[in-house]
């Protein structure tokens, strides 16, 4: 079993920060007081770490699952419990806080907050669990029953991948999280646990332009009219088999909320269901790394 509490930190630098420490100091002197910087002009460095999911992470994980399933008839509490119960598989993403600041209540809340979850649930092994039944029914409906044969074949072990995080966290954090997940799946398999998968299903989040003019048609032909919520899921979609795509416009999706002007690029929030074989996992990781370079 992997020691999940030792997962390596992931640094998120929201700016290029190519200059050295001395240059930063001189810039600070020129600026004088920090108040001279606008709220949106400050450089922020945040370090994240992957941790094993525990009971205290329940609400954070459930909220992340909600942004994927929205109003679907799926018991998210049940799915969250399954993710927590198999704590030797998968990670939640949390902010690293300096021990010196641990007494600060605001920092304490940030440290406990779940910023992402990367995990997998064996839909075949948990086939009699009610929330898994609901997920399978949801997948069947959204793929026009294309998964029937796959689900009904007893030799298949199908994993549902979860790759969720806050929308403003860069896609580079997905690489160590997915690498660690693959490593943990291998270790669990060797230990005789039910993680000997034949296939994986990923529900991707994307937005597609609703413009119908000639320029938009050209973009659609090139596939450039799509905005991926998690950028690393684009190469996964390219190597996998797309089984279904559908709009969730009528459901509450905070990522596309707001007021549109007539000339704005309007986007239709969608979900895309992608199937990959277990043998494609190494290729998936390679493609993601190449894509994010």
Backbone angles phi, psi at 195, to 5 degrees: -130, 30
Q: Distance between CA atoms of 288 and 9, rounded to whole angstroms?
A: 19
Alpha helix positions (H), 36-154: 58-69, 76-85, 105-112, 130-142, 148-152
163-197: per-residue pLDDT in tens?
Answer: 999 988 999 999 999 999 999 999 999 999 999 99
**Pair of tokens at residue 263:** 């000339």
Question: pTM for the full model?
Answer: 0.79
pLDDT of residue 35: 42
160 by Cβ neighbours in 10 Å (0-12 / 13-18 / 19+) ranks as buried
- DSSP H helix total and E strand total for the chain: 10, 9
Residue 118 bridge partners (DSSP)? 91, 163
55-64: per-residue pLDDT in tens?
Answer: 999 999 999 9
pLDDT of residue 152: 97
**Pair of tokens at residue 77:** 């509490």
Choose among 158, 160, 56, 61: nearest CA to 108.
56
Query: Is residue 19 pLDDT above 50, yes or no?
Result: no
DSSP for 228-271, please give it.
Answer: ESSTTHHHHHHHSEEEEEEE-TTS--GGG-SPPPTTS--EEEEE
Q: Where are the domains of the chain?
A: 48-97+110-253+265-292
CATH topology of domain 48-97+110-253+265-292: Aminopeptidase (3.40.630)
204-233: per-residue pLDDT in tens?
Answer: 999 999 877 655 555 554 556 899 999 999
Distance (Å) of CA 33 to CA 25, 28, 30: 12, 8, 9
Q: Stretch 84-95: mean pLDDT, rounded?
A: 94
Query: Is residue 124 pLDDT above 80, yes or no?
Result: yes
């Amino acid at each position: 079993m992997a020691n999940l509490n030792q997962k390596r930190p992931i640094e998120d630098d929201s700016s290029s920060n190519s200059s050295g420490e001395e240059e930063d100091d001189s810039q600070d002197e020129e600026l004088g007081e920090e108040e001279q910087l606008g709220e949106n002009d400050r450089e922020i460095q945040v370090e994240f770490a992957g941790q094993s999911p525990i009971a205290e992470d329940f609400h954070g994980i459930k909220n992340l699952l909600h942004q994927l399933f929205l109003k679907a008839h799926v018991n998210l509490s049940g799915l969250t419990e399954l993710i927590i119960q198999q704590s030797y598989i998968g990670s939640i993403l949390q902010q690293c806080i300096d021990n010196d600041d641990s007494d600060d209540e605001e920092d304490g809340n940030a440290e406990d907050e779940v910023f992402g979850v990367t995990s997998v649930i064996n839909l075949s092994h948990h086939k009699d669990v009610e929330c898994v039944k609901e997920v399978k029914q949801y997948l069947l409906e959204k793929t026009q029953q294309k998964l029937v044969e796959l689900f009904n074949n007893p030799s298949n072990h199908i994993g549902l991948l979860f790759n969720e995080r806050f929308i403003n966290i860069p896609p580079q954090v997905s690489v160590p999280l997915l690498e660690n997940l693959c490593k943990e799946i291998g270790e669990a398999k060797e230990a005789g646990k039910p993680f000997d998968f034949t296939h994986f299903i990923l529900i991707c989040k994307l937005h597609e332009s609703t413009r119908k003019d000639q320029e938009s048609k050209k973009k659609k032909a090139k596939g450039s009219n799509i905005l991926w919520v998690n950028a690393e899921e684009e190469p996964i979609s390219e190597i996998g088999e797309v089984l279904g795509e559908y709009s969730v416009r009528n459901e509450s999706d905070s990522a596309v909320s707001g007021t549109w002007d007539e000339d704005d690029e309007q986007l239709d929030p969608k979900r895309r269901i992608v199937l990959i074989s277990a043998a494609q996992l190494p290729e998936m990781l390679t493609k993601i790394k190449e894509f994010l370079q």
